[in-house]
Amino acid sequence: MILLHRHNFPQFTTMEKMAIICFASIPNGILVLLALTIFQEVQGIGVNYGTLGNNLPPPSQVAKFLLHSTTINQVRIFDANPEILHAFANTGIEITITIPNDQIPNITNLTLAQQWIKTNVQPFIPSTNIIRILVGNEVLSTANKLLISTLVPAMQTLHIALMTSSLDNLIKVSTPHSLGILSNSSPPSSGRFRQGYDTHILKPMLRFLKDANSPFMVNPYPFFACSSSNLDYVLFRANSGFFDDNTKLLYTNMFDAQLDAVYSAMKILGFEDVEIVISETGWPSMGDSTQIGTDTKSASDYNGNLIRHVTSGVGTPLMPNRTFDTYIFALFDENLKFGPLCERNFGLFHPNMTLVYDVPIMRNNVVVTNNHSKALLLIMIALSFLIGSWA
Ligand SMILES: *[C@@H]1O[C@H](CO)[C@@H](O)[C@H](O)[C@H]1NC(C)=O
Ligand SMILES: *[C@@H]1O[C@H](CO)[C@@H](O)[C@H](O)[C@H]1NC(C)=O
Ligand SMILES: *[C@@H]1O[C@H](CO)[C@@H](O)[C@H](O)[C@H]1NC(C)=O
Ligand SMILES: *[C@@H]1O[C@H](CO)[C@@H](O)[C@H](O)[C@H]1NC(C)=O
Ligand SMILES: *[C@@H]1O[C@H](CO)[C@@H](O)[C@H](O)[C@H]1NC(C)=O
């Protein structure tokens, strides 16, 4: 009756779990119903924790805030910042760390890969729950031949380095891609990887990911494809949808269409069974006036609907019933980012850790009821013993 998401939630201690089980064994429907209202399922979501701001709170505060006040249970960082890794110790929050692009050629050397793990991973585990190491970010979009040609070898070498430390079952190796890896994405069933990258890079990469039981990671941003004519479709609002003539499937949002284009491209290479993780997606709450949808209402709709969609278990038209670990970009507005105004306004939170706009990511009920529920549980258990001793 207590449905917990498959990721660990640290808010229940063993004692509490035992209490819940005792509680559930009370042959009283009313008590069980009461329990259900106290312990609602908390479905987790991931965030990208970027730090390109000069006004951001210290990692220790961020970690406490995420754990106690939000439903965020997965965090990706763009480096292996030791202060952040230390801050998330004993939170249970799943952490994904990144090897910066410029270090990829070095990681093809097993000695250097092992050194990297020794310096950036070993000191923090197991108290910090590091689940993944990403080799670079959007490497295929850099057009850097050295980085692109060393990417898969670096992933393989890093995996071997993890094996030599018996960490390969705990920590998975992957790398995120922009949707620029697709040469065709519409209709979704015709999704294809760019020629050249498809057989030379992505096929061996998918083979590696499949063998290592690691996910394929993509950064879909419907925001960058939105216009005044498709805004409802892009924001998961009511709309007439888009029909894929090849599959006879109806798409009611662009996010699904983009994911299914990726799926179709993977399938052509024979790897449609590799897990897909959304390493980034998001929406800015502010931008230049010429940019469509750069307002808090649109950001609230996109991220709110996204969270509901990816945690619902409905999947996509080509991947029904599948769930996708999803990391929203980003945790904070980052005032030191370059580019147009919107780049500095992708955050869910202001630096003072208040929400920029309404989004279903706060642990309101659970935080408020947590201590009450503990007290209530104790009373219920005491009662059940009393009733038991009368019988
Ligand atoms: C690559 O490794 C060498 C040591 O072998 C080091 O001097 C160099 O700084 C490393 N490069 C990067 C980008 O980390
Ligand atoms: C790997 O790196 C180590 C340390 O920098 C170096 O001694 C060794 O020669 C490198 N191996 C190869 C094959 O480049
Ligand atoms: C998805 O779930 C629905 C409802 O439980 C079920 O009817 C359907 O067969 C499932 N589809 C797949 C492909 O598993
Ligand atoms: C938090 O920061 C935002 C943006 O600067 C501001 O509008 C809001 O009033 C602040 N809230 C609190 C409680 O300080
Ligand atoms: C719940 O109780 C703990 C101490 O047992 C306390 O640290 C925490 O702040 C309380 N939480 C709330 C929301 O009152």
Domains of the chain (ranges plus CATH)? 1-42+367-391 (no CATH), 43-362 (3.20.20.80)
User: What is the CA(373)–ligand 1 centre distance, in A?
Assistant: 53
Separation between Cα atoms, residue 327 and residue 278, nearest integer Å: 6
Atom 9 of ligand 5: nearest residue by CA position: 371
Contacts by 290-296, CB closer than 8 A, 24 or more apart: 291/340, 291/342, 292/226, 292/227, 292/228, 292/231, 293/223, 293/226, 293/231, 293/234, 293/235, 294/341, 294/342, 294/345, 296/356, 296/357
pLDDT of residue 19: 54
Active-site positions read 138, 280
216: its two tokens? 């394929």
Whether the CB of 350 sits within 6 Å of ligand 4:
yes
- DSSP assignment letter at 194: P
Contact between 257 and 277 under an 8 Å Cβ cutoff? The reply is no
User: What is the CA(322)–ligand 3 centre distance, in A?
Assistant: 10
pTM over 0.85: no
pLDDT of residue 21: 57
Residues of the chain with pLDDT under 50: 1-11, 37-38, 40-41, 365-369
pLDDT of residue 27: 56
Whether the CB of 354 sits within 6 Å of ligand 4:
yes
Whether the CB of 320 sits within 6 Å of ligand 3:
yes
Whether the CB of 229 sits within 6 Å of ligand 3:
no
Backbone angles phi, psi at 32, to 5 degrees: -65, -40
pLDDT of residue 2: 36
